[in-house]
Structure 1
Amino acid sequence: MHNLLDSLPATLPLIQSGTQTWSRPALQQRIAQLRMALLARRAPRAPVAILADNCPDWLAIDLCTQELGITLVPLPLFFTPGQWMHVIAESGVQSIFCAQPQQAGALGFPDAVACEGELRLCEGPLRAHLPLPDDVQKITFTSGTTSTPKGVCLSTGQQWEVARALHDGLCRLGVERHLCLLPFAVLLENIAGPYTAMLSGATTICPPLAETGLLGASQFDPQVCLDAIARYQANSIILLPQMLQALVAVAAPDEPRIRSLKFVAVGGAKTPARLIRTARAKGFPVYEGYGLSECSSVVALNLPGAEREGSVGRPLAHRQLRIAADGEIEVGGARARYLGQAATSGAWLGTGDLGHLDADGFLFIDGRKKDILITGFGRNVSPEWPEAALLGTGRIAQAVVVGDGQASLGALIVPLSAQLGREQIQAAVDQANADLPDYARVLRWMPVPPMSSADGLVTANGRPRRPAIHLHFQQQIASLFTPAEQTT
């Protein structure tokens, strides 16, 4: 890290927010301050968490922990407090960076460590924890297919390997200003955004997310985003499919606010080819990619001059892809390691996704082996999770959650009693949603007749047969996501 920063001009604006501009000396000075604070902790080498909106300090902390060889554990703002506590307990975090010390205290870190700056460092009593391998610099927790997210352990080298491959593929575009639209706690933005920008000598622009249109996990104001792109004259951005869809819907033909853009990456969930065509017609230079946390995010990406409609691009230079006999996409050269487990020893990592490669090496995604839903905002949700919450209200006999690729989730609901009215069912849905993070809440629902094993819609023990249900209720499911026919 020292070598990279030292190689950049001292006057270059490396990081900007709405109120700050940091050159290389300013960033290095902040890293030095953070280094002193981290080493002054009761457990100077213990993992540290970060719970914060996008800001220059977030990146300085990230780089500082890499220099020191300390594990950083990002806590996504869209997690619930219960999920934060799970992550803290699982990863052995002994201190936390956050903007509000009272929030740190509520999470078990009441004691301030001397550290001026936008984000404050707080610690608590030493806690017993399992030791981590020395090369684990970051533990990234997915949005959680259940209420207990799973941690992926990454080394500094793994992360920068992806950034270098992206830099090599994009360097000829002359990107000078990258605007961060996704949370830094999301690995895609963290690595493909600031890391790649630094390697390119570009400026990373990271105002608070509300200033660029993103609120929570799935609320997005496209007009605010377009205004931010114009205000900061961004050359590159990273989007989730639902964000792209919202931007395209409000953008004018040859939208003047996006004329500075040279590259728009979209990933996190499958993006319809029709949406990409429409986006390009309006002036968005958009390219779809594919990745997973176990591989430090990006695995494949379409690039200018090397793209194919409907595909997610060719694999990055440091990756190999193959398709297993059952159609599963496997990644070569990926040393995946989950928290609390040994690193995978095989040469090929199964992704859980189904796909195919064409004769020119472009990857096409065909589906998923399991039932995980990926919302239009890139959040992974196991349908059993909100379904359990719905069933737990005591007023719903059966529930099947749907919404793959949609902005929010919907549900087919069988009331416990035929006498329950719409208001009572909605109250049950509201009750279930109260215990779920916003990306896992059910915002649309429709009553349906009881599903039985006799009609092939559930197994003998009552588990839903999802493909059969989706086929049987395909019109009802489609109507859930048709604006004019939404139930709620």
Structure 2
Amino acid sequence: MTSFPEPFPPGRALLSDGVRTLDRAALAQRIATLLEALAARTAPRAPVAILADNSPEWLAIDLATQRAGLTLVPLPLFFTPAQWQHAITASGAQALFCADPAQGAALGFTGTVALDGPLALCQRPGAASPDPAPELDGVQKITFTSGTTSAPKGVCLDTARQWEVAQALHAAGLGRLGVERHLCLLPFAVLLENIAGPYTALLSGATTICPPLAEVGLSGASGFDPQRCLDAIARHQANSVILLPQMLAALLAASAPGDPRLASLRFAAVGGARTPARILATARARGLPVYEGYGLSECSSVVALNLPGAARDGSVGRPLANRSLRIAPDGEIEVRGAPARYLGQLDGAAGAGEWFATGDLGHLDPDGYLYIDGRKKDILITGYGRNVSPEWPESALLGTGSIAQALVVGDGQPWLAALLVPAAPGLTAQQLQEAVDLANRELPDYAQIRRWAPAAPFTPANGLATANGRPRRAPIQQQYADRIASLFDQTEHAS
């Protein structure tokens, strides 16, 4: 599939920001206009980047590059200018869609291409550049992840594999839920929303509603206003949304049981990081249709997902129809033939019939449901020889509702400790200790948190979290090295 699906009635709204709506004919016309502008560049075959908020135009550009066989490089708004420049240089992008030409000029795109619309198309000045590098042949999108260093890592994806994921989600049952309006709550530069949201909505005949992120409660790198989000869900009568775990926790804390603003929802997918069991149980008790899933950028996003009628507590669901999974002898999850490869590496992450090692630990139950046990590289071995995945006690801490983020440490130590980010600025040390005590009640003694210290929020902006809000362990431990060391001071502990 090289473009948006065709079977919808001509008058059916496909994309909307709440003000401007594009039906099939209008979207086709907009794509044609964008294709003309892309062809008018001095380097018409070179990759093009996009640095912009969510909008119908963003999606139209995505679809236009698919139709033209061009490489699109989404730049997350929360990246630093240095990270933007790294992604631009590594990909060889010679043009940039952006809201402000001055922003493009600051990144070296000082020329412009004639284009009417909400975004400017800026390009590098001078003579036409050579054709894109051979390694980009067939690459439609390079999605850059925060990774574990300041230099983002690019994952190369082709058009077909992205649509295969959307088709698998549609066929798995999302197309039969009667979803008419999908509201986008995550940035399109994050692959989870880009593919599992609009692509699947197009296949399902739903309208994709994609207003600016501030209108649905997101601000900056990590700010989230749950009341604004709840109001947006009600205003647009959204039937489906995609949430990160911390967003779900905030929505539950900001709403009461039976909140009418959530009544329109028929499906809410949760992914990007491990979701605390207590949070999912609270959501289900309130009647919210929340389903946890699991995915990887290297696999074009979603790999497994719980679904209505096929969900199991504690699991992330069964693998999609286009995925084969197995568990290696050491517990690592492997996916067959994950087709993506990393920018700068000519060999793929795995060949068509090979197995891709995800770096995640997990297990499958007899019915094929997948359970995530943690990250292979993050396993802590305590001073008493116990192996503990830090995500286990972290999930218990997050499930208390008083802790927004947690990082558990203790490799080689006689006990485990944690850095805690309070869920609200007014929480006292006593309230946080009560939350730790509550979490400890569901953990064996070797996995309990003996000591803790407060920390500032871990965000993509300060380099301490990924785009999906997952803490970046090495940078956090480096920044808080002295504070962590104090948590294992046995003299202080004894006193």
| Range into which the TM-score falls when normalised by the shorter chain | 0.7 to 0.9
- Partner residue of 2:139? 136
SS class of match (1:132): helix
Unmatched tracts of structure 2, length 5 or more: 380-389, 399-404, 408-415, 425-454, 466-471
Amino acid in structure 1 at the alignment position of 2:318: R
**Counterpart pick for 2:148 among 132, 142, 145:** 145
- Could you say if the C-alpha distance between residues 196 and 433 of structure 1 is closer, same or farther in structure 2, counting changes exceeding 3 Å? closer
Is residue 315 of structure 2 the alignment partner of residue 311 of structure 1? yes
SS class of match (2:342): coil
- Could you say if the C-alpha distance between residues 331 and 434 of structure 1 is closer, same or farther in structure 2, counting changes exceeding 3 Å? closer
Provide the C-alpha distance between the structure 1 equivalents of 2:135 and 2:6, rounded to a whole number of angstroms. 30
| C-alpha deviation, 1:195, in angstroms | 0.2
Residue pairs, 1:75-86, within 5 angstroms = 75-86=75-86
- Partner residue of 2:185? 181
TM-score normalised over the length of structure 2: 0.78
Amino acid in structure 2 at the alignment position of 1:283: G
Is residue 162 of structure 2 the alignment partner of residue 162 of structure 1? no
- Partner residue of 2:367? 360
TM-score normalised over the length of structure 1: 0.79
- Partner residue of 2:228? 224
SS class of match (1:37): helix
Provide the C-alpha distance between the structure 1 equivalents of 2:216 and 2:460, rounded to a whole number of angstroms. 27
Contact (CA 8 Å) 1:69, 1:134: kept in 2 or not? no
Contact (CA 8 Å) 1:287, 1:301: kept in 2 or not? yes
| C-alpha deviation, 1:55, in angstroms | 0.4
| C-alpha deviation, 1:436, in angstroms | 3.4
Deviations 1:112-145 (A, max 9, x none): 1011101110001356774333210000011232
Provide the C-alpha distance between the structure 2 equivalents of 1:15 and 1:232, rounded to a whole number of angstroms. 13
SS class of match (2:359): strand
| C-alpha deviation, 1:289, in angstroms | 0.1
| C-alpha deviation, 1:4, in angstroms | 4.9
Provide the C-alpha distance between the structure 1 equivalents of 2:198 and 2:37, rounded to a whole number of angstroms. 23
Contact (CA 8 Å) 2:3, 2:63: kept in 1 or not? no
Contact (CA 8 Å) 1:329, 1:352: kept in 2 or not? yes
Amino acid in structure 1 at the alignment position of 2:143: T
Aligned residues: 415
SS class of match (1:199): helix
Is residue 376 of structure 2 the alignment partner of residue 369 of structure 1? yes
Amino acid in structure 1 at the alignment position of 2:35: R
Residue pairs, 1:8-87, within 5 angstroms = 8-87=8-87
- Partner residue of 2:96? 96
- Partner residue of 1:207? 211
Provide the C-alpha distance between the structure 1 equivalents of 2:208 and 2:194, rounded to a whole number of angstroms. 11
Residue pairs, 1:378-393, within 5 angstroms = none
Amino acid in structure 2 at the alignment position of 1:74: P
| C-alpha deviation, 1:260, in angstroms | 0.4
Provide the C-alpha distance between the structure 1 equivalents of 2:280 and 2:161, rounded to a whole number of angstroms. 30
Provide the C-alpha distance between the structure 1 equivalents of 2:176 and 2:224, rounded to a whole number of angstroms. 31
Contact (CA 8 Å) 1:258, 1:283: kept in 2 or not? no
SS class of match (2:377): coil
| C-alpha deviation, 1:251, in angstroms | 1.1
Contact (CA 8 Å) 1:336, 1:349: kept in 2 or not? no
SS class of match (1:11): coil
Is residue 362 of structure 2 the alignment partner of residue 349 of structure 1? no
Amino acid in structure 1 at the alignment position of 2:259: E
**Counterpart pick for 1:436 among 453, 456, 462:** 462
SS class of match (2:134): coil
- Partner residue of 1:192? 196
Unmatched tracts of structure 1, length 5 or more: 384-399, 409-428, 452-468, 477-488
| C-alpha deviation, 1:407, in angstroms | 7.7
- Could you say if the C-alpha distance between residues 156 and 173 of structure 1 is closer, same or farther in structure 2, counting changes exceeding 3 Å? same
SS class of match (1:309): coil
Residue pairs, 1:199-278, within 5 angstroms = 199-278=203-282
Amino acid in structure 2 at the alignment position of 1:305: G
**Percent identity over paired residues:** 64
Provide the C-alpha distance between the structure 1 equivalents of 2:252 and 2:202, rounded to a whole number of angstroms. 29
Residue pairs, 1:415-454, within 5 angstroms = 436-437=462-463, 439=465, 448=483
- Could you say if the C-alpha distance between residues 256 and 101 of structure 1 is closer, same or farther in structure 2, counting changes exceeding 3 Å? same
Contact (CA 8 Å) 1:255, 1:282: kept in 2 or not? no
Provide the C-alpha distance between the structure 2 equivalents of 1:404 and 1:349, rounded to a whole number of angstroms. 33
Residue pairs, 1:319-330, within 5 angstroms = 319-330=323-334
Amino acid in structure 2 at the alignment position of 1:161: E
Contact (CA 8 Å) 2:271, 2:294: kept in 1 or not? yes
- Could you say if the C-alpha distance between residues 186 and 307 of structure 1 is closer, same or farther in structure 2, counting changes exceeding 3 Å? same
SS class of match (2:104): helix
Provide the C-alpha distance between the structure 2 equivalents of 1:340 and 1:251, rounded to a whole number of angstroms. 46
Amino acid in structure 2 at the alignment position of 1:37: A
Deviations 1:420-478 (A, max 9, x none): xxxxxxxxx99x99993474796996964858xxxxxxxxxxxxxxxxx8xx589x9xx
Deviations 1:257-314 (A, max 9, x none): 0100000000000001111010122232100000000000000000000010000000
- Could you say if the C-alpha distance between residues 226 and 449 of structure 1 is closer, same or farther in structure 2, counting changes exceeding 3 Å? closer
- Could you say if the C-alpha distance between residues 202 and 436 of structure 1 is closer, same or farther in structure 2, counting changes exceeding 3 Å? same
Greater mean deviation of Cα atoms: 4-13 or 290-299 = 4-13
| C-alpha deviation, 1:401, in angstroms | 11
Greater mean deviation of Cα atoms: 281-290 or 311-320 = 281-290
Provide the C-alpha distance between the structure 1 equivalents of 2:41 and 2:16, rounded to a whole number of angstroms. 29
Contact (CA 8 Å) 1:62, 1:72: kept in 2 or not? yes
Provide the C-alpha distance between the structure 1 equivalents of 2:484 and 2:244, rounded to a whole number of angstroms. 35
Provide the C-alpha distance between the structure 2 equivalents of 1:199 and 1:274, rounded to a whole number of angstroms. 33
Provide the C-alpha distance between the structure 2 equivalents of 1:57 and 1:401, rounded to a whole number of angstroms. 47
- Could you say if the C-alpha distance between residues 46 and 2 of structure 1 is closer, same or farther in structure 2, counting changes exceeding 3 Å? closer
- Could you say if the C-alpha distance between residues 446 and 92 of structure 1 is closer, same or farther in structure 2, counting changes exceeding 3 Å? closer
- Could you say if the C-alpha distance between residues 450 and 252 of structure 1 is closer, same or farther in structure 2, counting changes exceeding 3 Å? closer
SS class of match (2:10): coil
Provide the C-alpha distance between the structure 2 equivalents of 1:406 and 1:241, rounded to a whole number of angstroms. 15
Deviations 1:50-103 (A, max 9, x none): 000000100000000000000000000010000000000100000000001000
Provide the C-alpha distance between the structure 2 equivalents of 1:163 and 1:14, rounded to a whole number of angstroms. 16
Contact (CA 8 Å) 1:78, 1:438: kept in 2 or not? no
| C-alpha deviation, 1:44, in angstroms | 0.4
Provide the C-alpha distance between the structure 2 equivalents of 1:433 and 1:83, rounded to a whole number of angstroms. 15
SS class of match (1:162): helix
Contact (CA 8 Å) 1:10, 1:24: kept in 2 or not? yes
Contact (CA 8 Å) 2:46, 2:129: kept in 1 or not? no
Amino acid in structure 2 at the alignment position of 1:436: N
SS class of match (1:6): coil
Provide the C-alpha distance between the structure 1 equivalents of 2:96 and 2:102, rounded to a whole number of angstroms. 12
